Structure 1
């Protein structure tokens, strides 16, 4: 079969665009991957990657050095072409031949210097952006009266380099001669932590190539060594320090082949650092959640980003000491062009950790759940009565869960209507107009509520119908009053945050509406009880009252799921922290009920409460 192969008409534009659009944050990954892949080809026991500062014109430049097969002048010239590699397999699922050069030239247009020793001979080449050519080139240097781009520097480095073995060295010159690429590796003016390079390697790579040892100069690690160089620290992977952690477990999902690794990484009893950080002093190690594909991590979330989404993964508390790694089968994903994300193979849809949140919850071992429970001891406050009243409110709408499929005999959904309704259909049950009053009349510290109605019991052995079991359940409510926990959930200045997938509603017990309501109630009940005891009761009333308002707003938002015209984005906005805060701010609607509840509490504690006037 005859054909005509496609070529690139304007290769200058293509190369400039590739480099101009490349992300900066892949720089360390690309150069380290090249270094470790080459080192892995060295003899066993001599597989080394070193990362250190080199002085060029008196300015520090980031340098990566590795053992492994060296390159002669021809190989070095080929290796610095775009979409070219030496000693590597080129494929869509393996090496692209562009990563290090493209991301490197993005942040280091002044030059990337390559030196490689092969059989005792060292050659050098420097690539970078040339203003006159308006593109990226191999810079020419005058050598013995001739202009050369690749040349022999063996004699120049003989006194400082080891010529007894093969090696390759890469030096990032940065944006200009004065750019310190050790302190600012991803761009001039972009300051990063001193251990940035080590941390980027630790976070990106779940494992190193077999036998590869990674050594960093102390000038580029955390801890001591800020103003010195020459001493080194060895960088370990998380798998290397797992034996030092109290508990880890990997669980296989038989349906998908996905493996989920749960790790407990608490702080040391005598130090502020986690156990993994103490056992890996070259880098900062904190708990995280990430995808792992072919030994590399993607969608890495740590710190506030991990804590904010952890409830969706079944970890409402304890995210600062729990790490979750989601291992994808090799044939389940492909890296994107710049290797900063993975996608599905057929549709090229980005894959994130959120896609596996349900699996993380379902496969979670019991010891992990125990860590979560210990991270947040239960409050003395019993919120069962609040949850029960909110469930009654939600039941009025007879809203099925997303996974429940109705039978043909059940009422039609609103989508079947020609015009749609402005609210979900209401069932014929008792009104809940006075639901907050009923909630606050609940017995103190008990999930049972007092009622004047006669309770009719079904025959022994009776069970809920399938449809009743499938009705949407009210979210579990957690009131937070620890500033650290509130910050973790990104709720500062917000009344609540609803996690739809985990069906959990967090309420900010320190929200401003609580303070305003508490201040007003303290004036009303002044002098009726000992100061501290009175403040405690009033604070509980204000927090419970706000929790009910936020919970009620959430239930009304949930009820819109089957209403025409309400998209998923609309539902997300309706349950956003900002929307819930607006519901919480209207505390005056609850002030009378709160006064009744406080009066009942004061009597229960033996104080003679003055009955509030009916508003």
Structure 2
């Protein structure tokens, strides 16, 4: 569609291009369509940052249409439940895209034979069977993550922020999870479930009865031995034997990263996929750092003391937020807490309240700072005595 200068803001006549047309013209640096066994095609598109304006994608240059990354469901050449900008970047980790979602688009194309139909005004797409709920992009998140091509995985890794070691904190959270006996939710068999389940012996099952010894030669009865599905011959590590895994802690250190995950004014966001994004620009970090710097202002190495104070403030907030997430996950064991209640406990607002309580972490931070910047009191008194004798 040709758009003349009097119909658009650019100085020259431009053409409005559809997404498929833009793909064929090479507007995106990378694109791949991956088809699953049931006919669903997942389109992965990578639009790198624009060199002249890092806040935009490359296809923004000279284009009439928006260059924002998107995620949506396509049915008969129409988009449904389209998400863009923050609505997409917040949900992207569920699709296996924890980093760089502002440059990556995912379009889930359903076959024409899919058991869905549009509503009368074509605003929503509904399933034909069951309760006829609306079709949502999140329904396909696991499929999108599983089908990601290797080049996309490499790009996601390259766009990850510089990681600060949180192994000690994650180990501590794992120990807490183990003590609370928190286990992952086991898969349940449903008649109309999306995955095919059979009673045959396989990975994750053991036989509890020998069919040859049973009357009538009935088949052995299998039972779950491990809910983690592994390749043939693989040995399950202790961490995978049904235990809930400690969250993967991902610190966000720039304003851009914080805004991408919609964490401005909030301390952290937890995803069911196991990532815990922590806003290191949250005010509680600066408040605790300032207090520690004031208390140890007499240290000889001021710069080193400030670095230790910053690290102590950051690590303590990560630990507070992580422990809050762990205790929220532990509420799954409480029958009085349903999934919705657990979800509320894991919301950014709830985790922010835990982050705000930096006073509870001060004593531990003081001990850590004191071992480095405050001389042992006994040694100080002894040195003073020697000086008096001299």
TM-score normalised by the chain length of structure 1: 0.51
The equivalent residue for 1:498 is: 270
1:497-518 per-position Cα deviation (integer Å, ceiling 9, x unaligned): 1112x21111111111111111
Q: Point out where structure 1 has 5 or more consecutive residues left out of the alignment.
A: 1-213, 225-230, 409-460, 603-607
After TM superposition, the structure 1 = structure 2 runs for residues 451-530 of structure 1, keeping only pairs within 5 Å, are: 464=237, 469-500=241-272, 502-530=273-301
Secondary structure of the residue aligned to 1:369 is helix
Q: Distance in 2 between matches of 1:574 and 1:514?
A: 22
Q: Does 1:239 align with 2:10?
A: no
Q: Point out where structure 2 has 5 or more consecutive residues left out of the alignment.
A: 189-203, 207-233, 379-390
TM-score normalised by the chain length of structure 2: 0.78
CA 1:241/1:529 → structure 2, altered by over 3 Å: closer, same or farther? farther
CA 1:249/1:472 → structure 2, altered by over 3 Å: closer, same or farther? same
Q: Does 1:287 align with 2:69?
A: yes
Secondary structure of the residue aligned to 2:144 is helix
Q: Distance in 2 between matches of 1:306 and 1:284?
A: 15
Q: Which has the larger radius of gyration?
A: 1
The equivalent residue for 1:342 is: 125
Q: Distance in 2 between matches of 1:223 and 1:611?
A: 70
Secondary structure of the residue aligned to 2:181 is coil
Asked if the contact 1:494/1:578 (under 8 Å) is kept, the reply is yes
| 2:49 corresponds to which of 260, 267, 271 | 267
The equivalent residue for 2:139 is: 355
Q: Distance in 2 between matches of 1:612 and 1:288?
A: 61
The equivalent residue for 1:216 is: 3
CA 1:317/1:464 → structure 2, altered by over 3 Å: closer, same or farther? closer
Secondary structure of the residue aligned to 2:250 is strand
Asked if the contact 2:268/2:276 (under 8 Å) is kept, the reply is yes
- Larger helix proportion, structure 1 or 2? 2
Secondary structure of the residue aligned to 1:581 is helix
Secondary structure of the residue aligned to 1:571 is helix
CA 1:275/1:339 → structure 2, altered by over 3 Å: closer, same or farther? same
After TM superposition, the structure 1 = structure 2 runs for residues 596-607 of structure 1, keeping only pairs within 5 Å, are: 596-599=367-370, 602=372
Q: Which has the higher contact order (CA 8 A, sep 6+)?
A: 2
Q: Distance in 2 between matches of 1:299 and 1:220?
A: 29
Q: Distance in 2 between matches of 1:572 and 1:246?
A: 38
Cα offset, 1:338, TM superposition: 1.1
Q: Which moved more, 1:299-308 or 1:268-277?
A: 268-277
CA 1:522/1:301 → structure 2, altered by over 3 Å: closer, same or farther? same
| 1:303 corresponds to which of 72, 85, 91 | 85
Cα offset, 1:353, TM superposition: 0.6
The equivalent residue for 2:196 is: none
Cα offset, 1:537, TM superposition: 2.1
Q: Distance in 2 between matches of 1:304 and 1:612?
A: 53
CA 1:258/1:599 → structure 2, altered by over 3 Å: closer, same or farther? farther
Secondary structure of the residue aligned to 2:71 is strand
